[in-house]
Amino acid sequence: MKSPIRYLLLLVSIICLLSSCRNEEDLSDFKLAEEQGNAEVDLSLAGYFQNFETEALKRGIVIDLDALNVSGEFQEISEDGVAGTCTYGSHQPGQIVIDQTFWNQAGFFLREMIVFHELGHCALMLDHREGQNADGTCASIMRSGLEACRDNYQALTRADYLDELFGQSR
């Protein structure tokens, strides 16, 4: 018989930094089962969640974040440089937390990049993808931040980055 602690240990927390990003187990992020079932998404995040589904569908991928029960909320993340986290486990839907201070200071594209990065983990179940283009810009918004590539998610590059993101999930 498996002990519940084994399931706890399966919990994976992915913490994404603006400047660096890493995977780590963080049991303190574990939420009680009673929070499952009706995932809440902060109204300020709902439009970004909807855009994620829309952009996926444009590329032939059906994503239903309600059905996946992915939640999204703002908190003050105490760790320096952490813009967002995705936490999920084998018996737990994804929970996305975005740092409130980061959000207040970020523009549309930076906000979308972070939310879509976290949804890449929590909805597409993607890991990080490193690499850079010839000009030093990041090859993927799923970059870990541990390498020296430069973020370049903006109006002119958005479609290509989203092709790359959703292309990974095929």
CB of 2 to Zn ion, least distance (A): 29
Closer by beta carbon to Zn ion, 14 or else 149: 14
For position 16 contacting Zn ion by CB under 5 A, the verdict is yes
Contact criterion met (CB below 8 Å) for 108 and 27: no
Identify the three-state secondary structure at position 160: helix
Identify the three-state secondary structure at position 102: helix
CB of 81 to Zn ion, least distance (A): 13
CB of 158 to Zn ion, least distance (A): 19
Closer by beta carbon to Zn ion, 21 or else 149: 21
- Cα 161 to Cα 142: distance, rounded to the nearest angstrom: 10
Nearest residue to 75 (alpha-carbon basis) of 113, 44, 32? 44
CB of 22 to Zn ion, least distance (A): 8
For position 122 contacting Zn ion by CB under 5 A, the verdict is no
Closer by beta carbon to Zn ion, 63 or else 126: 126
User: What is the spatial order of strands in the sheet that 92-99 belongs to?
Assistant: 21-24, 12-17, 82-89, 92-99, 71-75
Closer by beta carbon to Zn ion, 57 or else 146: 146
Q: Are strands 71-75 and 92-99 parallel, antiparallel or unpaired?
A: parallel
Q: Which of residues 18-37 bind Zn ion (CB under 5 A)?
A: 21
Size, binding site for Zn ion by CB under 5 A: 3
> HSE (CB half, 13 Å, CA atoms) of 148?
3
Options 10-18, 72-80, 102-110, 132-140: segment touching Zn ion (CB under 5 A): 10-18
**Contact set with Zn ion (CB under 5 A):** 14, 16, 21
